[in-house]
Structure 1
Amino acid sequence: MVQDGLIGRRRELEVLVGALDRAQAGQSAVVLVGGDAGVGKSRLVAELCATARERGGLVLVGQCAELGESMPYLPLADALWTAARDPNVPAEARAALRAAVEARPVLAGLLPDGPGAAGGDAADLAQQRLFGAALGLLGELSDARPVVLVLEDLHWADRSTRDLLTFLCRVLQRERVCLVGTYRTDDLHRRHPLRPVVAELLRLPAVSAVELAPFGPAETAAYLAALEGAEPSADLVDRVHARSEGNPFYAAELLAAARSGQELPQVLADLLLARLERLSEPAQRVVRVAAVAGRRVGDRLLRRVSGLDETACEEALREIVSHRLLLPDGPDGYVFRHALLREAVYGDLLPGERTRLHAAFAALLATDGGSAAELAHHSMAAHDLPAAFAASVQAARQAERVGAPAEAHEHYDRALSLWDAVPEPERTAGTDRARLSLRAAAASAAAGDLRRARLRVQRLLEVVDPGDRPLRSEIHERLAYYLADLDRIEESIAAARTAIDLLPAEPPTPQRARALATLARSLIWHGEYAGFRKVADQALAAARATGATDAEASALISLGLREEPIRPDSGAEEMFAAAWRLGEGSGDLQVALRAGFHRARAMFERGDLAGAREAIDEGVRLTFDAGLAWSTYGTNMRFLQYLVAYTVGDWAETARLAEGFPVRATTQPEGLLSAYALFTDVAQGSPVVGERLEWLSRLWDTDDFVMLMARGLAAEHALWRGEEGTAIEHVDAVLAALPSNDPAVIRLAATALWAHADRAVRARAAGDDAAVEQAVHAADAMVARARQAATRTIDGHKRGWLGEEGRAWLARAEAEWHRARGDDAPEHWRAVVDAFDYGFVYEVARSRWRLAESLAAHGDREAATAEWRRAVEAADRLGARPLRRALADLGRRARLTAEPAPEAGPLAALTAREREVLKLVAKGLGNREIAAELYISPKTASVHVSNILAKLGVATRTQAAAIALREPPPA
């Protein structure tokens, strides 16, 4: 509901409440609220929170602080910590929140009383794990009640918080979550780091913006009347409005000054400080101490730094609270009523006073075990460089553990800048300067700034002792790794070789093993196979001799990728499985994820679908358990899991999995998942295909793999609609971007050959010899491309095998080529059926369609009818509506059946269970109500509804209900 008491903000509140409505209905929503300091952002959001609480929602509010650049994820930790201890939150909700946080140690480690995040992960994986944990937490909490998560003062947010905000804005979809962020527009100068983030987020479909403008004269008058309880004089309104420029906070302060008979000051900071001057001296001291602490301060810390005795401090705090300078915040702290108050007080401190107070806070934090980031901040402000150095190193390591690599780099960078200014830095840091620099580079790389990581290690080479060969080797190895990630592969290979040459071959060392493994990785990426096997074998030998499991696993993966294409019995699967076990056993998630993906993929390509399904399910479980579902390999594993289910014909499972795949994709990971969902969408003729392709079209010019998947399936979609020209246009665009020897060319060529064959068949029937010749010529060129891709060379030798799917697509391409040439013999299509019969249910059915067509054309009606019926059975079971229509057309034309066409009734394709579900949809029931009615899970109900919409060819539940009401399902 919209509150009448919120003056001048009705429209803005309607936007926020509308977002809450969408979240309650199961569609996550994000609103970014911007405006000048004091314009009423927090007041507006407080109204939304009150509405959410009235509706039984859980409200989580966290604030960034000016220390934000050194305190990662502060608003998230603040929101969780505050709500878990807030007596105004229902006990049941508090218990659920605490249980959900405790089940996710990476989140619990952010809290003041948390166990601390577990170490061992690379900083980038730690961050991805935290992001996944935050998403999982919000999803779990929103199952029970809508959740409003408010992140206040994002203009002060640290880099990791901004990254978390971006992540949540992109991946929140069906969770009942309303995410609200507030920020000062007047602070967003041209180079402010939040500015590009806001611009990027506002392009997302789920994100809307609210911009709070200053009050107009009428609104200022109404606001002053509400504060005064009576109509103020026109002269007072004019003066206050002119001085406040419509800013509600300043208007209230100016009104208070006018009430006390004060002249309205020319400088608004003077107005705020005048409130301080009306306090007693002890109260003024406490406020100044609080200003040094930040926007919020704990009661115990505030009392100790103030230096007042208990009684005097108590009286001072009562006075301050009564004057509404500080407000109680939770059971043990205070917060400034407005950030502008704190800024004015802090800015008015004398330099020496400010330094002494920072020193006092640093001393207490050092003895009481406070945050290392806060300690570093206060120590620097107090000019205590040794303490700032030690705290910066500690804060960097803490930031790594909680998955905040950008902040870790900043802390390391500060520590390195102080290295020469502090005594015994090596003893304090527990390491030497070079290795601290390597840690800083690693943090920078984990934060995505590979260029800065490369530059740091390159500069490090200029200053380290030329005689320290082991250290120089380590630096060159890291440089090689970063160069490879930057696609500067030749430089990477050179750096890796230098790293190896700096170390003796005997005795083997872990560092030499890692350098050899990195060289093997770069050689694979570069496609340079000469001498590869020797390098990989040396890496394995050195790794096993020294127990360097990370190097051993990396070398095994590279070796498997090299050997796999040569022959089907290459042993690559065993290598990937061994690397998987090494990664799992050592807790090295980076290796485990990479190996787990390739282990399942290799099984899939060999045709071991049962093994691939088991392996990929295991890998996906690891990503979800670790909170890494949206990491690179987490995304890869999820699309492979989808692909395996699609291949074996478990399309109910693909529908379930696709619930987590975005339709309105705006990033490469989202685009990849959305493109894979097209497999089933296109095959079932889902109405969502058009929307998916519209969004994916914005990505495929910038990402080759998304283009390959999306445009390849867009071509199939066009062919089912009889649009051969559109299909060929899509295929040609993708082929222009692919190397000629890429195996993906084969499926694309088969799709194009379908189009050319259709054209040739139609032209032949019409007697258009010129069109036939044109289509056959195009088909000849396309089949040549498929054959070339199938026989690509590796290290000078012909490829040993394609994998089961590749071999089947080549057979399909050859059969379509024969069809285009008028030689559509059944044996060509029988070969395609046999090739796909390793378990690819849909493609077997689609191939039987063509086989039945060929058999009928050659007069073998009995065999054609048998193949046709088997294809119909599979198409009906899968809900493959375009194929079913094609089979119905063939059945009528070839007189293969006397049965009525499936289009005789729109509900004919529904199963008995789907008809039951449709009855309840027509009654207006939601998925949860349907689940309760039929004693099934809400997920299963959702899958049934998705299948019904696809089979009926409608986009909404309302349209499906309309069909059901026109033609009630049979009893």
Structure 2
Amino acid sequence: MDLLERETVLRDLAGHLKAAVSGPGRLALVRGEAGIGKSAVVRRLAQIADPHIRVVTGACDPLATPRPLGPLLDLAPHLGREVRTALAATPTGPGRPDEVYDCLLADLSAYPSLLVVEDIHWADEATLDLLRYLARRLPNVPALVLATYRDDEIGRTHDVTALLGTLAGYPWVYRHDLAPLSRRAVARLATGHAVDAERLYLVSAGNPFLVTEILAAPAEPIPATVREAVAGRLVCLSAAARRVVDVLAVLGTQVPLRLLAGVLPAPEEALDEAVACGIVRTHGQVAEFRHELTRLAVLEAVPAAARLRIHRQVLAAMRSGPVAEEDLALLADHAAGAGDPAAVLRYAPAAAVRAAALGAHQEAADQYAHALRYADRLPSEQRISLLEGHSQACLLSGRLDEGIASRRTAVRLRRALGDRLREGENLRWLSCWLWPAGRAAEARRTGVDAVRVLEGLTPGRELARAYLNLCRLACYGHEGEAAVAGHAGKAIALAERSGDTGVLVQARFHTAAARVLREGRGWEECERAVSDAMAAGLPLDAGALALVMCWLAALRRDAVRAAAAVSRAEDYCLDHDLPAYLLCARAWGSWGLLNRGSWSRAADAAQKILAHPGPPPVARALALTVLALVRARQGTPEVWPPLDEAAHLVDPGCLRDTGLGWEAPVEAAWLTGDHERVRAEARSGLAALADRIHPWLSGPLACWIRRAGGEPPQVPAAGPYALELAGDWAGAAARWDGLGCPYDAALARLSGDASALRQALAAFEALGTRPAVARTRSLMRVRGVRPVRQGPRPATRANPYRLTNREMDVLKLLDEGLSDAEIAARLYISPKTAGHHVGAVLTKLGVHSRHEAARKHHGPERE
């Protein structure tokens, strides 16, 4: 088929390729619905590429459990020996994903290359991580990496959506959309065929694949759906050819001809017939459907009994010879389809181990789940091992509920076997993951149980880790430096004997973190510990510590440290496939943005966490709280529902310890003028903190009582809070300014003189917090302070139409054709407020319509 209406995309991609091979490298994303012609564009680009440019292509497969690094396995034969060696060594060598990624990067650095990865909407986690890894380093590589995906098959919670979010900030990443064909293009393709071109366009909606499929069977009437089109062609096949098509549909994409021959005797003639009919195609030693939609339509028509039979035949064929480790996932998939418990139990655990070694924890969890369906057939020890592996893979891939459930079962079965050592170890793991699940009290009880069990045995590495767990929980629960140091000392004493570097680093870190929480001293020690863990190649330990640094910085309202900590944690978690840690880091990051007064960015970050299918409850609760506070500060509705949801997601201790849990409803009540509720909520929070010493939790609550006209109790208060409580509003405001927290600085100035009140009002207006502006104006009236109008701000004076910054934001969205409601949603303001802004923009521009406003917006820019 001619590549009609694809000239622009091809020209752009060719330009990217030419620029990339000369350096710096680029990443191009080609997206569109199924059948829109992405693969055809990629093939044409490869054909027109300079002969000196190496072209390597791999594709992702639509398996129930995708092959880890499947595309890399496809293109490995065309890469250098180092890549092939690293890839072949991955099942056994330490640090395998990093080794493979580094070797691929070095290989791409050596040759001008076009590297294509098709259909990343079917990609496994390790492949997506590979793309993240390459994307970050492409400016130093003479290569164009081109990835294709179906944008109609990825929702807001899809893994590819997360990848796209990571790539959003890279200026060397380019995106290209393939649109449906126009009526004119479809009519041109229909020329010479006995079809109604208009009906062809209406039936196909301009989808090139559907058009081609329909035109490939001109003797058949034009079908109304893809299913009918495929079914119409299948009717023309002989029984043998239909059998080949059915088998290929069950086998999946890119089926090796040797495997097809192992299932069907002498399939060559029947395969030729299917190819001639346009259903499938062959290239080299591989047969495949011309499009996945066709395969799925065929597969749907294959009777369940026939599918079962084919899966069994394929399984037998694949097992008849040596089994390559890269085929374990396929074998497990066909074993599950064949309903063969013994085969599932043989291949799924092995596939899970390999996936975990490659950093594909999601796939590992799925493979363990396949095996656990038949685990009651296994001896207890093997069943427990599967549960433990499943738990760890689930926890590392962010599936906390599944992971915790499997770990609970493992604890019970270990106890029944009398295996006290592994019972204690499982209790410790269970405790570790109960805290991010929002169950702080249970995490503490379970951690104590782990120590109790292990203390009855010969002291060793397991007990050291159990003591370390109590050290961590004491730190997160603000139990004080003495409690943290006590557990840490026991852990260190045992770790020094066993040489457990992870315990030593974490114990040092949490002891220093306890000092940071109470006194502010210890940052440098914490930083050294994080660096040591990363340098020692301890991804779980280093990831956890990097995450805690995000929490410490956000909790202490240190904007600079928070931004740096979140950036480091994100990079590390992405590189080491730690999605649960990553989401928590981003939750603390949203709080950091809130502290800096970046309302829209904070809300966007929180919404992305909430849109994810499985954030840890702690991360979700924090994101809900941040979102509620943005709404409260901006004066938009729906403040209390997210706060109520957050309160029910995690237990009260966990909600308190994270930092915002008690303070958020207090502030929300203050912004609505409900002083009685402010005082009641704040005193309730202080009562819950009575047995803890944490100035960054108790200090703000005492300040809110004071702001609401109450007499604050004597409680530990951190620097700026202590200054405000002591009446030094100027000192408190200066400290907040130094920390990069303009909203908190403005709150402190509310206790000041007339000049301070005017400064607070200006700050609140600049931040766009209407309720705080109203509260400040009310306070100024009570004190007899008149606001001083100083005229438009410099940005407004510089604008040719005297538009404010907010009005410029509205004008840009008018240019996009957004309605008032859409503008309100984008700017986190009410539709009524958006309407007022739109009216002001039209008046200042002297126009009568949105269209005229958008056109006038571009006039001065061109002039």
What is the TM-score with the length of structure 2 in the denominator? 0.59
Shift, 1:526, TM fit = 6.6
Q: 1:594 aligns with which of 518, 540, 544?
A: 544
Partner Cα separation in structure 1 for residue 470 and residue 456 of structure 2: 15
Residue 475 (str. 1) matches residue 431 (str. 2): no
Whether contact under 8 Å (2:492, 2:504) holds in the other structure is yes
In the alignment, what sits opposite 1:358?
A: 315
Map 1:515-526 to 2 at 5 A.
515-522=466-473
**Counterpart secondary structure, 2:464:** helix
Shift, 1:323, TM fit = 1.5
Residue 395 (str. 1) matches residue 295 (str. 2): no
Distance 1:30 1:674, change over 3 A: farther
Residue 803 (str. 1) matches residue 718 (str. 2): yes
Partner Cα separation in structure 1 for residue 314 and residue 326 of structure 2: 16
Partner Cα separation in structure 2 for residue 613 and residue 167 of structure 1: 20
In the alignment, what sits opposite 1:541?
A: 493
In the alignment, what sits opposite 1:320?
A: 274
- Counterpart AA for 1:326: V
Write out per-residue CA displacement over residues 72-95 of structure 1, whole angstroms, 9 at most, x where no aligned residue: 689xx669979x99xxxxxxxxxx
Distance 1:505 1:114, change over 3 A: farther
Shift, 1:513, TM fit = 0.8
Shift, 1:576, TM fit = 3.1
Distance 1:606 1:745, change over 3 A: closer
Residue 439 (str. 1) matches residue 328 (str. 2): no
Shift, 1:374, TM fit = 0.5
In the alignment, what sits opposite 1:293?
A: 251
Whether contact under 8 Å (2:720, 2:733) holds in the other structure is no
Map 1:932-947 to 2 at 5 A.
none
- Counterpart AA for 1:473: G
Whether contact under 8 Å (1:359, 1:378) holds in the other structure is no
Partner Cα separation in structure 2 for residue 417 and residue 965 of structure 1: 62
In the alignment, what sits opposite 1:69?
A: 64
In the alignment, what sits opposite 2:18?
A: none
Whether contact under 8 Å (2:472, 2:510) holds in the other structure is yes
Map 1:442-591 to 2 at 5 A.
442-461=392-411, 463-464=413-414, 466=417, 468-484=419-435, 486=437, 492-503=443-454, 508-522=459-473, 534-560=486-512, 567-568=518-519, 572-573=522-523, 576-577=526-527, 579-591=529-541
In the alignment, what sits opposite 1:263?
A: none
Distance 1:473 1:398, change over 3 A: same
Partner Cα separation in structure 2 for residue 174 and residue 490 of structure 1: 40
Whether contact under 8 Å (1:579, 1:591) holds in the other structure is no
Whether contact under 8 Å (1:63, 1:79) holds in the other structure is no
Distance 1:968 1:679, change over 3 A: farther
Partner Cα separation in structure 1 for residue 808 and residue 152 of structure 2: 49
- Counterpart AA for 2:272: R
**Larger-gyration structure (1/2):** 1
Map 1:620-699 to 2 at 5 A.
622-623=572-573, 631-636=582-587, 638-639=589-590, 642=593, 646=596, 661=605, 666-667=610-611, 689=634, 693-694=636-637, 699=642
Whether contact under 8 Å (1:63, 1:152) holds in the other structure is no
Whether contact under 8 Å (1:922, 1:962) holds in the other structure is no
Shift, 1:360, TM fit = 1.3
Whether contact under 8 Å (1:450, 1:482) holds in the other structure is yes
Q: 1:277 aligns with which of 229, 238, 257?
A: 238
After alignment, is 605-614 or 469-478 more displaced? 605-614
Shift, 1:369, TM fit = 5.0
Q: Which runs of 5+ in 1 are unaligned?
A: 6-28, 34-41, 86-103, 117-125, 182-209, 211-221, 233-239, 241-246, 260-266, 684-688, 757-778, 792-798, 816-827, 855-863, 928-949
Partner Cα separation in structure 2 for residue 868 and residue 152 of structure 1: 51
Whether contact under 8 Å (1:276, 1:284) holds in the other structure is yes
Shift, 1:620, TM fit = 5.4
In the alignment, what sits opposite 1:701?
A: 644
Shift, 1:635, TM fit = 0.8
What is the TM-score with the length of structure 1 in the denominator? 0.54
Shift, 1:512, TM fit = 1.3
In the alignment, what sits opposite 2:753?
A: 853
Whether contact under 8 Å (1:396, 1:407) holds in the other structure is yes
Map 1:144-293 to 2 at 5 A.
150-151=149-150, 163-164=158-159, 167=162, 229=194, 256=219, 274-277=235-238, 286-287=244-245, 289-293=247-251
Write out per-residue CA displacement over residues 749-777 of structure 1, whole angstroms, 9 at most, x where no aligned residue: 645755x5xxxxxxxxxxxxxxxxxxxxx
Partner Cα separation in structure 1 for residue 796 and residue 491 of structure 2: 62
**Counterpart secondary structure, 2:541:** helix
Write out per-residue CA displacement over residues 721-763 of structure 1, whole angstroms, 9 at most, x where no aligned residue: xxx6457599579759846455556546645755x5xxxxxxx
Residue 373 (str. 1) matches residue 329 (str. 2): yes
Map 1:861-900 to 2 at 5 A.
none
In the alignment, what sits opposite 2:364?
A: 408
In the alignment, what sits opposite 1:26?
A: none
Whether contact under 8 Å (1:922, 1:960) holds in the other structure is no
**Counterpart secondary structure, 2:531:** helix
Whether contact under 8 Å (2:491, 2:507) holds in the other structure is yes
- Counterpart AA for 2:65: S
Distance 1:485 1:924, change over 3 A: closer
Whether contact under 8 Å (2:666, 2:682) holds in the other structure is no
Shift, 1:543, TM fit = 1.9
Distance 1:48 1:925, change over 3 A: farther
- Counterpart AA for 2:352: A
Shift, 1:359, TM fit = 1.2
Distance 1:500 1:621, change over 3 A: closer
In the alignment, what sits opposite 2:8?
A: none
Whether contact under 8 Å (2:387, 2:406) holds in the other structure is yes
- Counterpart AA for 1:276: L
Partner Cα separation in structure 1 for residue 624 and residue 194 of structure 2: 57
Partner Cα separation in structure 1 for residue 350 and residue 412 of structure 2: 27
Write out per-residue CA displacement over residues 160-181 of structure 1, whole angstroms, 9 at most, x where no aligned residue: 9975267569989899998999
Write out per-residue CA displacement over residues 572-607 of structure 1, whole angstroms, 9 at most, x where no aligned residue: 546634542342133333332432344466578779
- Counterpart AA for 2:276: S
Whether contact under 8 Å (1:517, 1:551) holds in the other structure is yes
Partner Cα separation in structure 1 for residue 436 and residue 68 of structure 2: 27
Whether contact under 8 Å (1:469, 1:502) holds in the other structure is yes
Distance 1:717 1:302, change over 3 A: same
